[in-house]
Amino acid sequence: MLEQISSLIFQTDFVFSIFRITAPILFAALAAVVAEKAGVTNIGLEGIMLISGLFGTLFSYWTQSWMIGVLGAIVVGTLLALMMGFFALKLNTDIILAGIAINTMSAGGTIFLLYLFTGERGNTASLTSSNILIPTVKLPIIDSIPIIGEIISGHAVLTYIAFILVFVIWVLLYKTAIGLKIRAVGENAHAAESVGVSVIKIQYIALAISGILCGMGGAFMSMYYSQSWNTGLIAGRGFIALAAQAMGRGEPVGAMFSSLLFGLAQALRTKVSGMQGVSSNLISAMPYLVTIIGLVLYAASTMKKVKRRKADEANEEKK
Amino acid sequence: MSNNEYVVQMKGITKVYPNGVAANQGVDFNVKKGEIHALMGENGAGKSTLMKMLFGLEQPTEGEIIINGEKVSLSSPMVAISKGIGMVHQHFMLVPSLTVAENMVLGMEPKKGMFIDYKKAVEITEEYAKKYNLHVDANAKIIDIPVGMKQKVEILKALVRGAKILILDEPTAVLTTQETAELFKELINLKEQGYTIIFISHKLKEIKQITDRLTIMRGGKSMGVYETADISEQGISRLMVGRDVILTVEKEKAQPTDVVLKVRDLEYTDSWNRKMLDKLSFSVRKGEILGIAGVEGNGQRELVEMLFNLNVPDAGTVTVNGQNILGVPQRKIREMGVSLIPEDRMVYGIASSGTIEENLMSDRFDKKKYNKGMLFDMNAMHEESDRLIDDYLVLCKSRKQEVGMLSGGNIQKVVVAREFSSDPILIIADQPTRGIDVGATEFIRKKLVELSREGAAVLLVSADLNEVMELSDSLVVFYNGKIAAYFEDTSMLNDEIMGEYMLGLKKQTEEEVRRVCHE
Amino acid sequence: MNNRRMLMFEIIRGAAAILVALIVAMIFIFICSDQPFEALRYMLVSPLVSNGSISMNSIYTIFAAMTPIIFTGLGVCVMFSSNQFNLGGEGCVMLGGFIAALVGIYCSTGTYLDMVIAVLIASIVCAVVLYIPAVLKVKLGASEMVSSLMINYIIMYVVLHFLNNVFADGSKGSVQTFPFAETARIPQLVAGGSKLTWGFILALIFTVLVALFMYRTRWGYSIRMIGINQNFAKYSGMKVGAVIILSQIIGGFLSGMGGALEVLGRYEVFLWRDLPGYGWTGVTVAILAKNNPIFIPIAAFFISYLNRGCTLMATYSDVPAEMVDIIQAVIFLFFAAEKFLAKYRQKLVVAGAKEELSQKNAAAAEGGQK
């Protein structure tokens, strides 16, 4: 059995699929990273992706342009995130409850809206045609390299964008003024306020960025991954992303690696399902378990650090 | 004298807070260009309020502020900063995971295209650090640097924003001796470069050492402006420490018997590496009120935390009737008969959205008396809370009212009712009447005396000199985590003597202090 | 401020939230329906009345739908009361249902004890499961929200694994277990297809029990005080860590029981292939009930009524039933918004303070006369 699995893992299409599966999780995980850095926990990722995914399909159907579809998804994602911001920052709704509300709304709200706009029920399979899906690209030169070409070339545009965004978000957070403000607001809002930084404004901005990323994630799912929109489209990816953010210690690169871990596990599941003696369900459960273990290790290590610092100080004092 | 020599003129400043507290009453405060000016006063004298108004955090109810000859309205810190005023808060306004340079430029980032010009930020930091001789490591993260350097970053932050007038709020409170010496050198350097510094402190030696002039505040009013060279330390202390209204509480002479609380050689160094408690030893006997006087920040808070297991000391022992209470869960401490009126009632004293009844029951809800099998005996609870509300004159509609909706005095009465009614053998009262109305204050003080005469041991910690001198049977003065003086009889004391011990001008011998151990 | 005034304010605020939601609903109905008033009538009235007379069957259906969400609502209520955002109720419903089903299939004693045993075991297992995020939070400070969300998915996949690979009834086309023993099924309360079982009565009983627990016992009291102010609880001598863990265990127990009763009451086999969503509805219900157990059935009724109304509306008119989620979310958002109508509240507070002051002055004058 192990042989079987290992032979699978070393197939190029398997590695290819990991990237494909990771991309949507990565979008959402980056969304979680940006929001959390500004001190707002965005648990509405799941719902925002589902709704923006729907609008991605709708816009592309109406305009027959995948690009406008993606843009539409981004706009809707941003608006939803800002709406969360309005309730949380302006009306003092607990940000977690605001996120739960978005998720609640998305579940049936999307079906309703779909019916409202198109008269379709439950999915958009009949609206979609291949010309309005997000196209894949063959990378020049790389495509012709054996193995590597097969793995890296031929992905959807948004897959590349997802991984490029890891770098972009890192730059945004660590190399730009707005990023500095986001980090300052999330860590010590008073300090930021004392030098004239508007905390609420920065949190709105962070939520908006979070919404943009969710919008891309949603569009990726409905306009490429599943080829059409349906109610089970996101299937917990928003929550997984939240975990990826936590396990990645809130950093873009960390979040990418934990997203890849989830991607790997899901790719494995798809591969081994149907194989004798391997439970695809149990494999699916693994990443969640790993997340909890990751959280525990992280929490334990920070706790130790605090203790050690205290002990060090005590020792210094004795000297 | 021409007005132009003043950079800051605050005229007839009165500040009344919405809750009716008048923190400043007709205060005049003038600072000359290029001087180091001390603003002195006890806690609650109104100096922070005055400085908050100068930095735009609060607006005066009456009076005007003139900066560099121009009448200004300082509606926010940003306006104050634009007028060249900078403030270094006692609690640093820094973001721990950012570097020094990043903290320096936060909100005014130098840019290169879309990005922060981090190199420029470092350059700016280093340029200012060099210019003002305030050495910081621009690339280090705040979390990794010592307190002294953090303070320098704060000063640089103000300077880089164009501050010409610096307000330093008790800057030495968090520093070691060496760091303090360094800071003073830097401040004098700044003064030589033409900067004006307002220095809030109550440490006499430092004031004498570094300032040119000083303004003393007491009870929300200015007690005058003096040339530092012309006034003696005793003179300052006399003006600073004193009572305005002398309320007297009638009490019989105490008849103290056995030792209840026994504190021996307690030591604690806080996370800023300051020795907050230094081999502290004392005892409190049954039937007496032992007062702890002292300027805040001399170890009183830490002591109380240790006594109620809210913090852990580095060394020492504490016993109540011979039983250890260090590291013992609060439930056990309470079972031993210890009560605490906490310093900050909103943090520890109450659950503000709970009802009055729920707040009164928090230490006794699991007693047999209030439970019938699995369930609460609601009648017993109602009876008890109604009784307490009556006995302690809590002004409310009913026991079901939300406690957070009451006035400060009534909230404190709820806390006091709970803490006093558990038949305590030891009561620790930490600032029991802070910020509450006269009626409630008087009531709580009377109750405290009553309980001590009925046989409780009382440890009273108060920054209110009037309170601690009137209520205490005997009294210790804290200075720098140590007992500077012990007075067995408080009737002979006056403000002047107290002031000298509180501000560290005088100190009793070890033997004299040792008497408080009653051994 | 006056308690009654406060309560009135809360009622007005709730009504305003519902009004906003209904306006939103109406806008949608007017957009997508040819007969908007007809649709609206179906949504608001038809759950109670059909063909001009009160429809008992419809009401029973609503009651049946309330059963699981009362339990999850109560569970969330207890967990949130200690200020812990544990969202594991969702997973517990599925796990509780599955465990109960297994016990009902394989451990039948042939007596009516079966259902009691099945429900109890299911509830206890779920309590144990939610011990995990609780203890991780208390001992290590790991976010209970993230770990409980993860646990939901672990539960789902583990249940699916056992359902697919171990306990599946191979003779059936779809994946499902063998049928439960007759004695493990929760008996129907009324005849007919409403699926209203004794579980509903149990839900009401548990509402009272949980209300008693929260407001009349030392543990519930501790949970609430810790939720309001942990420092205060510690200083007062409560065992903060242990009580937080207790609250999460109880939350798991209740959610598990909801799942068990739902599965044993509504179905004959276990066939859930996804998280059922009752846990999330439980959060909504708890928020609408302001975390007060006594209001949980009312909130659950409200939600179930809305659901039923929207279902009927969808059946008889051209508006999709799923609109209910939008209405729910809008109400939820406004209920949870602390500053919604805050200005009005401020006015009430000021009025109350003035009144208090004048009473105080009157009392003082009276005292002076003595």
Give pLDDT tens digits for A101-158: 999 999 889 998 898 888 888 788 888 888 888 888 888 888 788 888 888 888 899 9
What DSSP assignment string belongs to B76-120? SHHHHHHTTEEEE-SS----TTSBHHHHHHTTS--EETTEE-HHH
- pLDDT at position C229, please? 95
Is residue B454 predicted with pLDDT exceeding 90? yes
- pLDDT at position C159, please? 96
Is residue C360 predicted with pLDDT exceeding 70? no
Task: Please give the residue of chain C at the shortest CA–CA distance from B381.
Answer: C216
Q: Do domains B3-84+164-240 and B259-337+425-517 have the same CATH topology?
A: yes
- How far is the C-alpha of B73 from the C-alpha of C367, rounded, in Å? 45
- pLDDT at position B2, please? 46
pLDDT level of residue C368 (50, 70, 90 thresholds): very low
- pLDDT at position C25, please? 87
Rg (alpha carbons) of chain C, rounded to whole number = 23
> What is the pTM for the complete model shown?
0.86
Average of pLDDT values for A275-287?
79
Handedness of CA B353, B359, B364, B368 (dihedral sign): negative
Q: Distances in Å between the alpha carbon of C46 and those of A4, B72, C307, C311, C323?
A: 59, 67, 12, 10, 16
Could you tell me the two tokens for B33? 């260009």
Contacts of C123 (CB under 8 A, 6+ apart): C96, C253, C254, C256, C257, C260
Q: What percent of chain C has pLDDT over 70?
A: 92
CA triplet C47, C49, C55: central angle to 5 degrees?
A: 85
pLDDT level of residue B505 (50, 70, 90 thresholds): confident
pLDDT level of residue A316 (50, 70, 90 thresholds): very low
Is residue B45 predicted with pLDDT exceeding 90? no
3-state per-residue secondary structure call for B137-156: CCCCEHHHCCHHHHHHHHHH
Give ipTM to 2 decimals.
0.85
- pLDDT at position A318, please? 42
DSSP designation for A136: B
- pLDDT at position C221, please? 96
Average of pLDDT values for B46-65?
90
Average of pLDDT values for C40-69?
88
- pLDDT at position B41, please? 84
Q: Among 3.40.50.2300, 3.40.50.300, 3.90.180.10, 3.40.50.1820, what is the CATH number of B3-84+164-240? A: 3.40.50.300
Q: Which domain holds residue A129?
A: 2-318
First to last CA, chain B: 61
Q: What percent of chain A has pLDDT over 70?
A: 90
Is residue B510 predicted with pLDDT exceeding 80? yes
Task: Please give the residue of chain B at the shortest CA–CA distance from C237.
Answer: B331
CATH of the domain at A31: 1.10.3470
What value does the mean pLDDT of chain B take? 89
pLDDT level of residue A306 (50, 70, 90 thresholds): low
Sheet with B323-324, strands from edge to edge, namely B275-285, B259-269, B315-320, B323-324
B511: enclosing H helix or E strand? helix B510-514
Is residue B102 predicted with pLDDT exceeding 60? yes
Contact B108 A188 (CB under 8 A): no
In this structure, the dihedral spanned by the alpha carbons of residues A300, A305, A310 and A314, taken in order and rounded to 10 degrees, is: 120
Grouping H, G, I as helix, E, B as strand and the rest as coil, residue B63 is strand
Could you tell me the two tokens for B189? 């350097």
Q: Enumerate the residues of chain A whose CB falls inside 8 A of the CB of residue C280.
A: 100, 103-104
Tell me if chain B has a CB within 8 Å of the CB of C50.
no
Task: Please give the residue of chain C at the shortest CA–CA distance from A239.
Answer: C149
- pLDDT at position A1, please? 58
Alpha-helical regions (H) of B408-490: 408-420, 438-453, 465-471
Contact B109 A194 (CB under 8 A): no
Contact C161 A289 (CB under 8 A): no
Interface test with A, best of C138, C285, C325 (most A CBs within 10 A): C325
The answer to whether residues A69 and A220 touch, using CB atoms and an 8 Å cutoff, is no
Comparing C31 with B154, the larger pLDDT belongs to B154
Long-range contacts formed by B249-256: CB under 8 A, 24+ apart: B249/B442, B249/B445, B249/B446, B249/B449, B249/B470, B249/B471, B251/B449, B251/B453, B251/B471, B252/B453, B253/B473, B254/B287, B254/B288, B254/B289, B254/B452, B254/B453, B254/B473, B255/B287, B256/B285, B256/B286, B256/B287, B256/B288, B256/B473
Interface test with B, best of C4, C213, C225, C235 (most B CBs within 10 A): C235
Contact B401 C360 (CB under 8 A): no
Domains of chain B, by residue range, sit at 3-84+164-240, 259-337+425-517, 351-422
Interface of A with B in 160-199 (CB under 8 A): 171, 175-177, 179-181, 183-184, 187-188, 190-192, 194-197
Contact A187 B314 (CB under 8 A): no
Could you tell me the two tokens for B210? 């570094």
pLDDT level of residue A319 (50, 70, 90 thresholds): very low
Residue type, C228: I
Contact A243 C146 (CB under 8 A): yes
**Number of domains comprising chain A:** 1
Average of pLDDT values for C184-188?
92
pLDDT one-digit tens code per residue, C131-160: 999 999 999 888 898 899 999 999 999 999
Pick from C219, C218, C236: which is nearest to B363 by CA? C236
Residue where the block lists tokens 């846990």? C279
Identify the CATH homologous superfamily for domain B259-337+425-517.
Answer: P-loop containing nucleotide triphosphate hydrolases (3.40.50.300)
Contact B400 C221 (CB under 8 A): no
- pLDDT at position A195, please? 87
Contacts of A86 (CB under 8 A, 6+ apart): none
Rg (alpha carbons) of chain A, rounded to whole number = 21
3-state per-residue secondary structure call for B335-352: HCCEEEECCCHHHHHCCC
What value does the mean pLDDT of chain C take? 89
Distance of CA B475 to the CA centre of its chain: 19
Could you tell me the two tokens for B85? 């005023």
- pLDDT at position C1, please? 45
Contact C154 A289 (CB under 8 A): yes
Contact C225 B405 (CB under 8 A): no
In DSSP terms, which residues pair with B483 in a beta bridge? B478
Contact B308 C234 (CB under 8 A): no
Tell me if chain C has a CB within 8 Å of the CB of A275.
no
Interface of C with B in 157-216 (CB under 8 A): 212, 216
The answer to whether residues B83 and A171 touch, using CB atoms and an 8 Å cutoff, is no
Q: Enumerate the residues of chain B whose CB falls inside 8 A of the CB of residue C238.
A: 331, 362
Q: Enumerate the residues of chain C whose CB falls inside 8 A of the CB of residue B361.
A: 221
The answer to whether residues C101 and C259 touch, using CB atoms and an 8 Å cutoff, is no
State phi, psi for B483 to the nearest 5 degrees.
Answer: -90, 120
Interface test with C, best of A40, A82, A87, A93 (most C CBs within 10 A): A93
Handedness of CA A114, A115, A117, A120 (dihedral sign): positive
Grouping H, G, I as helix, E, B as strand and the rest as coil, residue B289 is strand
Contact C329 A243 (CB under 8 A): no
State phi, psi for C136 to the nearest 5 degrees.
Answer: -65, -35
pLDDT level of residue A9 (50, 70, 90 thresholds): low
pLDDT one-digit tens code per residue, B317-376: 999 999 999 999 999 999 999 999 999 888 899 999 999 999 999 999 999 999 999 999
Pick from B274, B272, B281, B271: which is nearest to B315 by CA? B281
Contact A282 C136 (CB under 8 A): no
Residues in chain A: 319
Query: Nearest Cβ partner of A91 from C156, C322, C337?
Result: C337
Q: What percent of chain B has pLDDT over 90?
A: 57
- How far is the C-alpha of B515 from the C-alpha of B449, rounded, in Å? 23
Contact A187 B96 (CB under 8 A): yes
- pLDDT at position A274, please? 64
- How far is the C-alpha of C210 from the C-alpha of C251, rounded, in Å? 11
Contact B95 A183 (CB under 8 A): yes
Could you tell me the two tokens for C230? 């942990």
Tell me if chain B has a CB within 8 Å of the CB of A107.
no
Could you tell me the two tokens for C317? 């008119």
Average of pLDDT values for B293-308?
91
- How far is the C-alpha of C290 from the C-alpha of C296, rounded, in Å? 9
Tell me if chain C has a CB within 8 Å of the CB of A118.
no
- How far is the C-alpha of B11 from the C-alpha of A34, rounded, in Å? 48
Comparing B235 with C342, the larger pLDDT belongs to B235
The answer to whether residues A128 and A57 touch, using CB atoms and an 8 Å cutoff, is yes
Is residue B21 predicted with pLDDT exceeding 80? no
Give the number of other Cβ atoms within 10 Å of residue B82's Cβ: 15
3-state per-residue secondary structure call for C184-228: HCCCECCCCCCCCEHHHHHHHHHHHHHHHHHHHCHHHHHHHHHHH
- pLDDT at position C341, please? 75
Residue where the block lists tokens 């690209």? A137
Q: What percent of chain A has pLDDT over 90?
A: 49
Query: Residue A98 burial (CB < 10 Å; 0-12/13-18/19+)?
Result: buried
Rg (alpha carbons) of chain B, rounded to whole number = 25
Grouping H, G, I as helix, E, B as strand and the rest as coil, residue B324 is strand
pLDDT one-digit tens code per residue, B188-222: 999 999 999 999 987 888 888 899 999 999 888 89
Q: How many helices (H) and strands (E) does chain C have?
A: 14, 2
Interface of A with C in 13-72 (CB under 8 A): 41, 43
What value does the mean pLDDT of chain A take? 87
